[in-house]
């Protein structure tokens, strides 16, 4: 049923980049041109929201990186005053320029939180998902544009609260990014130190409040993504014709939808513990600073929090990696000029991966004393989940086989992703086994493992995505020379930062040591690796400068694209004007073929776009009416 005002309105000429041709009736509320605030700040356009997400997430990524730089100085030169910036942090955090252990803990907790929840997921899912996914499925926008805006602003508010918690008395949350109680229940708690901490404005409480905003944001986003993929696919775009990137986002959305709420429950309970004096996670007979705590009723279970946290935490890991796999798949297919190897198997794998990721969470908890039988179960499921992961990464590797590869900047990052993610993934196997995990648990080996997955893995894929889709967003290419200047040092230095962690970790370096292991005898001969890692990290920071210059300069001065499809790609986002206007497509796209028809024998070009009719084999009408048509 249509609204009553059914008249056709005047359409602006199609060439101005604003698509109106696919509209039949205008809603009564979008006749006027939106003003600045509505267009760029409180926009409901998925592309603007995607860019807002991307920009905010990049800022948070820089903040998270800066926190890590501070930590790396401390680890390499424990007890030494910071040069130059040491005095900026005040006497509480850095007396005489030397970092306090509490501040180090805050930095560690906030580095993890900011990087996972405020930088990588918003960039991979919020930014790329918002910008690219609706374009790739041929949709005019997200299914719920207003919810989309609400999702961004909830994330923004959560991020601001999280960052602001650095400035309250006592500083930001300091119990690790996992915030395990009872440590996190005691930390910053005015119940124990009323003169030091505010009842509400203390680091840990603000962390929980900020997380509730972030969880709300991801809930709104994931509902929107799933509905959009199900409902707004273009005619003829069947499930097996979806680009792999869309599949990856689709599964990630399910993970966010279903995995985050238990953490919300945990956050609510921890907030109750802090604000209402309950004892969900505080055990009976707790002793703080040598005195027994009588104020609590007791009877709570710290293990319960860990279960709830990791029920989120593990699917979250796949939310970090799946969009990255999607981006890399698009770029590899495009630059090898070949179809992806085993597209169907990759899709099945990503679905299985999504399902299995819900039943592996307790492999983070082998040392909690939850019992060997439970450990056994989770060891088995963890072994199982490596199968679909390896299928996907192997498919990507074999996709390279026999291609005449174009090594442009996106492709460099995408190819580097494969071995880096491979190292990250394979070093996870010893952690999955009970027996070896006993030794490796909570060492730098773990840090090395998941940073290989996320830093030179996911973040490289995100860089690849930025270089790849930048011409669609702005109409200009990013500079190739600066791209090389960004890529090669980053590749080497990432390994310089993270590879020594495996060596230290196997020796037994604990991940939360604030002095980098200075005081132990068994660490002495590997302490020099701290210097290697820290210098690599500082140089890595410098290596990001070409990227920043490139990103901002190319918006104005980059080489202009000569067509709407500068990479000669096949997927629908390249069938839009550059940059796509409000409503995206000049006319409603109809899809006739699979996502990666590169180098089809007999085709006039080496790429056949999805919306390109093929009169000999497929009638348009037939393609449109058969939602389950095989490609």
Q: How far is the CB of 260 from another protein (least distance, A)?
A: 8
The burial of 310, by beta-carbon neighbours within 10 Å (0-12 exposed, 13-18 middle, 19 or more buried), is given as buried
Options 143, 172, 365, 409; binder of another protein; rule CB under 8 A? 143
Alpha helices in 94-238 (DSSP H): 101-113, 121, 130-136, 145-164, 183-186, 203-231
Interface with another protein (CB under 8 A), residue total 62
Binding flag, residue 377, another protein (CB under 8 A): no
Q: Are 208 and 132 in contact (CB under 8 A)?
A: no
φ, ψ at 131 (rounded to 5°): -75, -50
Separation CA 389–CA 399 (nearest Å): 15
Q: Tell me whether residue 364 or residue 486 sits nearer to another protein (CB atom).
A: 364
Q: How far is the CB of 311 from another protein (least distance, A)?
A: 7
Q: How far is the CB of 585 from another protein (least distance, A)?
A: 10
Instruction: Please provide the size of the chain in residues.
Output: 631
Q: How far is the CB of 312 from another protein (least distance, A)?
A: 9
b vs e for 594-615, b when ≥16 Cβ sit within 10 Å of the residue's Cβ? Answer: bbbbbbeeeeeeebbbbbbeee
Binding flag, residue 231, another protein (CB under 8 A): yes
Binding flag, residue 257, another protein (CB under 8 A): yes
Q: Are 466 and 554 in contact (CB under 8 A)?
A: no
Give the strand pairing for 287-288 and 291-292.
Answer: antiparallel
Among 70-78, 144-152, 418-426, 548-556, the segment contacting another protein (CB under 8 A): 144-152
Separation CA 52–CA 38 (nearest Å): 13
Q: How far is the CB of 27 from another protein (least distance, A)?
A: 6
CA 286 and chain centroid, separation: 37
Q: How far is the CB of 252 from another protein (least distance, A)?
A: 14
Options 25, 41, 438, 492; binder of another protein; rule CB under 8 A? 25
Binding flag, residue 258, another protein (CB under 8 A): yes
Binding flag, residue 2, another protein (CB under 8 A): yes
Near another protein in 570-629, by CB under 8 A: 582-583, 627
Options 27, 90, 290, 602; binder of another protein; rule CB under 8 A? 27
Separation CA 554–CA 551 (nearest Å): 6
Options 304, 370, 426, 600; binder of another protein; rule CB under 8 A? 304
Q: Tell me whether residue 255 or residue 423 sits nearer to another protein (CB atom).
A: 255
The burial of 442, by beta-carbon neighbours within 10 Å (0-12 exposed, 13-18 middle, 19 or more buried), is given as middle
Options 51, 109, 124, 269; binder of another protein; rule CB under 8 A? 269
Among 31-39, 269-277, 404-412, 531-539, the segment contacting another protein (CB under 8 A): 269-277
φ, ψ at 291 (rounded to 5°): -120, 140
Binding flag, residue 297, another protein (CB under 8 A): yes
Options 70, 141, 356, 476; binder of another protein; rule CB under 8 A? 141
Binding flag, residue 299, another protein (CB under 8 A): yes
Separation CA 110–CA 166 (nearest Å): 9
Provide the 8-state DSSP code for 87.
G
Q: Tell me whether residue 191 or residue 503 sits nearer to another protein (CB atom).
A: 191
Closest listed residue to residue 268, CA positions, set 302, 305, 297, 299:
305
- What are the DSSP calls for 524-587, one per residue? GGGTHHHHHHHHHHHHHHHHTHHHHHHHHHHHHHSPBPSSS-TT---SGGGGS-SS--TTS-SS
Q: How far is the CB of 257 from another protein (least distance, A)?
A: 5
Options 79, 101, 194, 277; binder of another protein; rule CB under 8 A? 277
Binding flag, residue 369, another protein (CB under 8 A): no
Map residue 607 onto helix, strand or coil: strand
Binding flag, residue 311, another protein (CB under 8 A): yes
Q: How far is the CB of 310 from another protein (least distance, A)?
A: 12
Binding flag, residue 558, another protein (CB under 8 A): no
Among 62-70, 117-125, 254-262, 523-531, the segment contacting another protein (CB under 8 A): 254-262
Binding flag, residue 251, another protein (CB under 8 A): no
CA 287 and chain centroid, separation: 38
Binding to another protein by CB under 8 A, coded x per residue (else -) over 100-139, reads: ----------------------------------------
Alpha helices in 232-290 (DSSP H): 244-275
Q: What is the largest CA-CA distance in the chain?
A: 83
Options 56, 130, 184, 224; binder of another protein; rule CB under 8 A? 224
The burial of 48, by beta-carbon neighbours within 10 Å (0-12 exposed, 13-18 middle, 19 or more buried), is given as buried
Q: How far is the CB of 546 from another protein (least distance, A)?
A: 38
Options 19, 135, 187, 255; binder of another protein; rule CB under 8 A? 19
Binding flag, residue 266, another protein (CB under 8 A): yes
Q: Tell me whether residue 230 or residue 621 sits nearer to another protein (CB atom).
A: 230
Q: How far is the CB of 389 from another protein (least distance, A)?
A: 24
Binding flag, residue 288, another protein (CB under 8 A): no
Q: How far is the CB of 602 from another protein (least distance, A)?
A: 31
Q: How far is the CB of 135 from another protein (least distance, A)?
A: 14
Closest listed residue to residue 173, CA positions, set 209, 223, 212:
209
Binding flag, residue 222, another protein (CB under 8 A): yes
Among 27-35, 84-92, 478-486, 549-557, the segment contacting another protein (CB under 8 A): 27-35
Closest listed residue to residue 453, CA positions, set 441, 461, 463, 443:
461
Q: How far is the CB of 212 from another protein (least distance, A)?
A: 11
Separation CA 599–CA 66 (nearest Å): 45
Q: How far is the CB of 505 from another protein (least distance, A)?
A: 32
Give the number of other CB atoms < 10 A from CB of residue 419. 16
Q: How far is the CB of 140 from another protein (least distance, A)?
A: 5
Alpha-carbon distances of 328 from 50, 81, 455, 595, rounded to whole Å:
19, 42, 14, 14
Q: Tell me whether residue 257 or residue 397 sits nearer to another protein (CB atom).
A: 257
The alpha carbon torsion through 291, 297, 299, 304 (nearest 10 deg) reads -90
Binding flag, residue 226, another protein (CB under 8 A): yes
- CA dihedral sign, ordered 573, 575, 580, 582: negative
Question: Which residues sit at the interface with another protein, rule CB under 8 A?
Answer: 1-4, 19-20, 23-28, 30, 140-145, 147, 219, 222-224, 226-227, 230-232, 257-266, 268-269, 272, 276-280, 284, 296-301, 303-304, 307-308, 311, 582-583, 627
């Amino acid at each position: 049923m249509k609204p009553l005002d059914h008249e056709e309105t005047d359409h602006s000429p199609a060439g101005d980049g604003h698509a109106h041709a696919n509209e039949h009736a205008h809603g009564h509320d979008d006749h006027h041109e939106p003003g600045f605030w509505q267009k760029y700040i409180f926009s409901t356009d998925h592309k603007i929201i995607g860019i807002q997400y991307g920009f905010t997430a990049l800022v948070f990524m820089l903040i998270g990186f800066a926190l890590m730089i501070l930590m790396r100085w401390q680890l390499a030169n424990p007890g030494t005053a910071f040069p130059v910036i040491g005095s900026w942090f005040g006497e509480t955090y850095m007396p005489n320029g030397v970092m306090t252990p509490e501040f180090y803990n805050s930095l560690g907790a906030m580095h993890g939180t900011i990087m996972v929840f405020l930088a990588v997921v918003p960039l991979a899912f919020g930014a790329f998902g918002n910008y690219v996914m609706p374009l790739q499925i041929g949709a005019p926008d997200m299914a719920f544009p207003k919810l989309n805006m609400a999702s961004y602003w909830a994330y923004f508010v959560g991020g601001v609260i999280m960052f602001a918690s650095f400035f309250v008395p006592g500083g930001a949350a300091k119990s690790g990014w996992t915030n395990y109680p009872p440590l996190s229940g005691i930390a910053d708690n005015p119940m124990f130190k009323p003169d030091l901490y505010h009842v509400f404005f203390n680091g840990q409480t603000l962390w929980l409040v900020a997380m509730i905003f972030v969880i709300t944001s991801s809930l709104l986003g994931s509902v929107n993504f799933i509905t959009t993929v199900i409902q707004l696919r273009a005619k003829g775009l069947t499930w097996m014709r979806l680009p792999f990137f869309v599949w990856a986002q689709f599964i990630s959305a399910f993970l966010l939808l279903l995995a985050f709420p238990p953490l919300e429950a945990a956050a609510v309970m921890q907030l109750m513990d802090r604000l209402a004096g309950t004892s969900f996670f505080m055990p009976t007979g707790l002793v703080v600073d040598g005195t027994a705590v009588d104020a609590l009723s007791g009877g709570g279970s710290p293990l319960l929090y860990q279960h709830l946290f990791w029920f989120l935490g593990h699917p979250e890991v796949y939310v970090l990696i799946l969009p990255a796999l999607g981006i890399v798949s698009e770029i590899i297919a495009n630059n090898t000029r070949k179809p992806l190897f085993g597209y169907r198997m990759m899709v099945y794998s990503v679905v299985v991966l999504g399902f299995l990721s819900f039943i592996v969470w307790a492999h983070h908890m082998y040392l909690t004393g939850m019992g060997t039988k439970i450990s056994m179960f989770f060891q088995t499921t963890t072994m199982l989940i490596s199968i679909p992961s390896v299928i996907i990464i192997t498919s990507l590797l074999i996709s390279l086989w026999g291609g005449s590869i174009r090594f442009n900047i996106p492709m460099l990052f995408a190819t580097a992703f494969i071995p880096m993610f491979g190292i990250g993934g394979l070093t996870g196997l010893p952690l999955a086994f009970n027996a070896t995990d006993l030794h490796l648990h909570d060492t730098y080996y773990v840090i090395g493992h998941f940073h290989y997955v996320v830093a030179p893995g996911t973040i490289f894929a995100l860089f690849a995505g930025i270089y790849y889709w930048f011409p669609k967003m702005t109409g200009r290419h990013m500079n190739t020379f600066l791209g090389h200047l960004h890529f090669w040092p980053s590749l080497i230095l990432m390994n310089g930062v993270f590879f020594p962690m495996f060596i230290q970790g196997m020796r037994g370096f604990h991940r939360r040591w604030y002095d980098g292991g200075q005081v132990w005898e068994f660490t002495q001969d590997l302490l020099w690796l701290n210097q290697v890692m820290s210098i690599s990290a500082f140089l890595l920071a410098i290596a990001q400068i070409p990227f920043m210059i490139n990103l901002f300069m190319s918006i104005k001065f980059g080489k202009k694209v000569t067509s709407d499809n500068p990479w000669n790609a096949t997927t629908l986002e390249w069938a839009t004007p550059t940059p796509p206007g409000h409503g995206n497509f000049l006319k409603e796209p109809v899809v006739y073929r699979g996502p990666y028809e590169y180098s089809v024998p007999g085709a006039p070009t080496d790429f056949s776009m999805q919306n390109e009719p093929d009169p000999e084999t497929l009638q348009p009408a037939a393609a449109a009416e058969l939602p389950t048509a095989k490609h």
